[in-house]
Amino acid sequence: MRVALLALLSIWLQTGSTELGCRDENGNLVDWYYLYKLPEKVAAGRSETAGLHYTFVTAGQPSAGWQLSARNVNESESIPGRTVGPVLSAKNLLAVLYNDEPPEGKTDGLRGHTKGVVATDWTSGFWLIHSVPKYPPELGQEYHYPNTGRMYGQSFLCVSFGADQMDAIGGQLVLNEPHVYSYHVPDELRERFPKLVEATRMKTDSKPPHWNVLKMRSRAGVTFNSFAKNRYFKKELYADLIAPSLQSNLLVESWQHGAGNLPSDCSKPKWTVLNIEGVTIGQQYRFETLQDHSKWAVSGDSERRFICVGDINRQEHQKVRGGGSVCSE
């Protein structure tokens, strides 16, 4: 009996030490984190590390505010490296890597303008939403960060979930129409997560509804709302879906290079959506929107406090692209 108990204890310890979820720089499991990769010219430092510095906020130390990491985003010991690296080498996880600009091959200008990593096993998982083209590397490769991602600012949101939340996230992915460039589905998980499996098939459903709002709870019980749309929604994500759903004005940071940029929208009867023109992080880092590739929004109302991190730019052509955003509550 004692031997059996010791064996069970050993199994529990081994399983607990490799629990799947978002990780901090010490490898500790955290419920969520926000990460801002700083633009190259803002936090240049030494030339070999320019464009690799990042600031972060984690659920473990939310009151600390934005902290500048001593790590670089291309290191396996960085926050995204600790989170994504183990997934790249694991053989027993269901993992879906998606990016409209994959590490290899052509940019997909038809499917969703969406980037991220979803990974799960029988008990736990996470969803990492980011804005970095050509990232992360395919499954089976070592973790690294692309040189093409250095110049501009980039946004990351990671949330840890129980496995019971993960297939609903798969349903949001199906709506977002991701370009899945690398995935692994173990046979024993295929029936448990049918929507995640469906997302890997990259089929578009033209039948309504063309959008969905999903209320999710993190492992620690924190509520997040996922907003998803496909190409047939044909309206603007922030002004036509997020603002009316949250009943709040929005301040939006998104890519403003190229054609079709949408101006701030004050035309709606209730909610305004204003484009951000510059970002300040703490007392040290300031940069203009044109130096930033991030996609995020915050409440424009002083009595409301939430942040959304996602996929879509405020540009005319993105009305007919899939994508979404995940907002804190």
**How many CB atoms within 10 Å of residue 44?**
13
pLDDT of 9 above 70: no
Q: Rounded distance, CA 284 to CA 253, Å?
A: 19
Tens-digit pLDDT profile for residues 140-183: 999 999 999 999 999 999 999 999 999 999 999 999 999 999 99
Chain centre to alpha carbon of residue 198:
20
Q: Among 27, 35, 46, 92, which Cα is nearest to 68's?
A: 35
For the residues of 32-100, what is the DSSP string, one character each?
A: EEEEEEPPTTTS--SGGGTT--EEEEETTSGGG-SEE-SS-TTSTTSHHHHHHHHHHH-SSSEEEEEES
> Which member of 53, 113, 179, 293 is catalytic?
293
Active site (annotated) includes residue 179: no
Q: How confident is the model at residue 61 (pLDDT cuts 50, 70, 90)?
A: confident
- The domain ranges of the chain are 20-328
Query: What is the pLDDT confidence band of residue 123, given thresholds at 50, 70 and 90?
Result: very high
| Residue 3 pLDDT exceeds 60 | no
For residue 8, the model assigns a pLDDT of 35
Q: Does the structure show a pLDDT above 70 at 218? A: yes
| C-alpha–C-alpha distance, residues 297 and 313, integer Å | 11
- Reported as a single tens digit per residue, the pLDDT across 22-48 is 999 999 999 999 999 999 988 656 667
Between CA 293 and CA 99 the distance in angstroms is: 14
> What per-residue confidence (pLDDT) applies to 44?
59
Cβ neighbours for 193, distance < 8 A, ≥ 6 positions apart = 94, 120, 166, 167, 170, 185
pLDDT at residue 50, rounded to an integer = 87
Scan for tokens 């690294």, then name that residue: 144
CA distance 71 to 73: 7
pLDDT digits (tens, 9 = 90+) for 301-310: 888 899 999 9
31 to 21, 23, 93, 128, 193: CA distances (angstroms): 8, 8, 19, 12, 22
Average pLDDT, the chain: 93
Q: Is pLDDT larger for residue 14 or for residue 310? A: 310
Which residues are within 8 A (CB) of 173 and not within 5 positions of it... i.e. 6 or more apart? 96, 98, 118, 195, 196, 199, 228
pLDDT at res. 202:
97
As a whole number of angstroms, the distance between CA 45 and CA 141 comes to 28
Give the span between the Cα atoms of 153 and 189, in whole angstroms: 36
Q: Is the pLDDT of residue 52 over 50?
A: yes
For residue 149, with 0-12 CB atoms within 10 Å meaning exposed, 13-18 middle and 19 or more buried, which class applies?
Answer: buried
> Is 268 strand, coil or helix?
coil
Residue 107 CA to residue 109 CA, distance in Å, equals 6
How many residues in total does the chain contain? 329
pLDDT, tens only, 257-280: 988 999 999 988 899 999 999 999
Give per-residue pLDDT as tens, 291-304: 999 999 999 988 88
Range list of H helices, the chain: 2-17, 79-89, 166-176, 187-190, 194-200, 237, 243-246
